[in-house]
Amino acid sequence: MRAYIASTGFHVPPNRVTNFDLVTRYGIDTTNEWIVQRTGIEARHFSADGEGTADIALPAARDAIARAGLEAGDIDLIVFATLSPEHAFPGSGCVLQALLGLPGVPAMDVRNQCSGFLYALASAKGFVESGMAKNVLVVGGEKHSAALDLTTAGRAVACLFGDGAGAVVVRGTKDSEPNKDRGIHWMNLGADGRYADALTQKVWDNRKSPFIWKDPETGKNVVKPEMMWCQMDGKLVFKNAVEKMILSVVGMCMENKIEPSDLDLVVCHQANMRINEYVRDQLGLPPEKVPNNIQKYGNTTAATIPILLAELERDGRLKSGMKVALVGFGSGFTWGSAYIIW
Ligand code: ACO
C-alpha cells in the first residue's frame, strides 16, 4: 500500500488587497513596480477581524473532504501545518477539529513554516502506510495579516505575505487501484537550525524570565517591535532557498532514477517568483512545468503548495498519472520535497 493524495481543497478570504491598496489603504511608502519586480506579487488576501487560522482552514478542509467522497466523520487524523496558530497553545489542529465536529479524532500541529505542508504530508504518509490512520486531513493554513507591520517601517516583510489555506486528504492505495503507480513515492525533509535567526517571529523568549520583556519604568510586560514582527535577512533567505530547492529536486530525480525533464510539474512553495524562476532555469524546465500563483495570493507559507495543487487540479493542469515534484524551503531553515505520481 502506498499513501496518495486523494483530493485537494482551498480557501482564501474574500478581502483582496492589491499592491496599490498597500499604498492607498495602509499608507505604506511602496510601489506596485517595486513589489512586482522583486517578488512577482500583485495581490494577497487578508481575513476579517475575528477570523482565525482554523476558521480560514475550515472551508478548505470541507472542500478536500467532499472531493475525496468522504464525510467529516471519516477523517481519523488531522495534521495542521501553520506558523500562525490562534494562540501559543493549543494548536490550530485542535481548533479545526472542534469546528469540524470531530471530538476524539487526533489532531496535531506541525510547526515548520514554509516547509510545513511537506513535513505534514510526510507525517500523513507515515501514518497511512503504517496502518495507524486511513483518511488523514492534511492542512496548511495561515493568518499572516494580524502579524504584519502594515506601515512603511515593516514594508519589506508586509508586502510578501497573505492569508489562506489549502488541504488534502491522504489515503492508502488499494489492490484494485487501476492507476498502479499512483501515490507519494518518495519524500525528503531537511533542516539547518544554525539559520534560525535569519527568518523569525519571536514574540517571546522563554530563556528569559519573564518570557515577555518587562519595562523597568512602567513595570508592564511589553512585546518590543523587533519581537512582535517577523525579522528576515531577505538576501540570505533567497540564496539558501534557491540552493536547497534545486538540490532537493536534483536529489529526488537521482533517487527515483528520473531526469528533471521527466517531471510533468514542479510545484514550488510560493515565496518569491524570482526564487522559483531561478530554480526553474537551473532545472532547465519550461514555464508551464513550474507554475506559480504567488501573483494572486502572496506567500501563504504552509498553504502555498496545497492551494496551488488545488488550483492546478481544478483548471486541468494536474491530471492523473502525471509525475509531480513538490518542493519547499523556509524558516528554520527547513526544506522538503516529494515525488508523486498523481
Ligand atoms: N517597497 C519599496 N521599497 C522597499 C520595500 C517595499 N516594499 N521593501 C524594502 N524596500 C527598500 C528598502 O528599504 C531598501 O531601501 P534602502 O536601500 O534605501 O535601505 C531597499 O528597498 C532594498 O531593500 P532590501 O531588503 O535589501 O531588498 P532586496 O533587494 O533584498 O529585496 C526581498 C527584498 C524581495 C524580500 C528579497 O530579499 C527577497 O526576495 N528575499 C527572499 C526572501 C523571501 O522571499 N522571503 C519570503 C519568506 S521566506 C520563504 O517563504 C522562503
Given this model, what pLDDT does residue 32 score?
98
Residues of the domain holding 285: 183-196+231-341
- Could you report the per-residue pLDDT of 39-96, keeping only the tens digit for each? 999 999 999 999 999 999 999 999 999 999 999 999 999 999 999 999 999 999 999 9
Among 33, 272, 331, 335, say which to mutate for ligand 1: greatest number of ligand atoms within 8 Å of CB. Answer: 272
In a domain, 164, yes or no: yes
In a domain, 263, yes or no: yes
- Could you report the per-residue pLDDT of 187-234, keeping only the tens digit for each? 999 999 999 999 999 999 999 999 999 999 999 999 999 899 999 999
Res 325 pLDDT > 90: yes
Q: Are residues 254 and 152 in the same domain?
A: no
Q: How far is the centre of ligand 1, averaged over its atoms, from the C-alpha of 40 (Å)?
A: 12
Q: Is the CB of 159 under 6 A from ligand 1?
A: yes
Q: Looking at the 3D structure of the chain, how many domains does it have? A: 2
**The ligand 1 atom nearest the CA atom of 274:** 39
Res 180 pLDDT > 90: no
Q: Are residues 294 and 168 in the same domain?
A: no
In a domain, 135, yes or no: yes
Q: How far is the centre of ligand 1, averaged over its atoms, from the C-alpha of 302 (Å)?
A: 21
The verdict on whether 159 is a catalytic residue reads no
Res 178 pLDDT > 90: no
Given this model, what pLDDT does residue 42 score?
98
Res 37 pLDDT > 90: yes
- Could you report the per-residue pLDDT of 115-158, keeping only the tens digit for each? 999 999 999 999 999 999 999 999 999 999 999 999 999 999 99
Q: How far is the centre of ligand 1, averaged over its atoms, from the C-alpha of 312 (Å)?
A: 29
Res 177 pLDDT > 90: no
Q: Are residues 314 and 242 in the same domain?
A: yes
Q: Are residues 127 and 271 in the same domain?
A: no
| Per-residue three-class SS string for the chain | CCEEEEEEEEECCCCEEEHHHHHHCCCCCCCHHHHHHHHCCCEEECCCCCCCHHHHHHHHHHHHHHHCCCCHHHCCEEEEECCCCCCCCCCHHHHHHHHHCCCCCCEEEECCHHHHHHHHHHHHHHHHHCCCCCCEEEEEEECCHHHCCCCHHHHHHHCCECCEEEEEEEEECCCCCCCCCCEEEEEEEEECHHHHHHEECCCCCCCCCCCCCECCCCCCECCCHHHHCCEECHHHHHHHHHHHHHHHHHHHHHHCCCCHHHCCEEEECCCCHHHHHHHHHHHCCCHHHCCCCHHHHCECHHHHHHHHHHHHHHCCCCCCCCEEEEEEEECCCEEEEEEEEC
In a domain, 35, yes or no: yes
What CATH number should be reported for the domain holding residue 91?
3.40.47.10
In a domain, 206, yes or no: no
The verdict on whether 135 is a catalytic residue reads no
Q: What is the mean pLDDT of the chain?
A: 97
Given this model, what pLDDT does residue 103 score?
98
In a domain, 205, yes or no: no
In a domain, 224, yes or no: no
- Could you report the per-residue pLDDT of 95-114, keeping only the tens digit for each? 999 999 999 999 999 999 99
Given this model, what pLDDT does residue 175 score?
79
Q: Are residues 161 and 277 in the same domain?
A: no
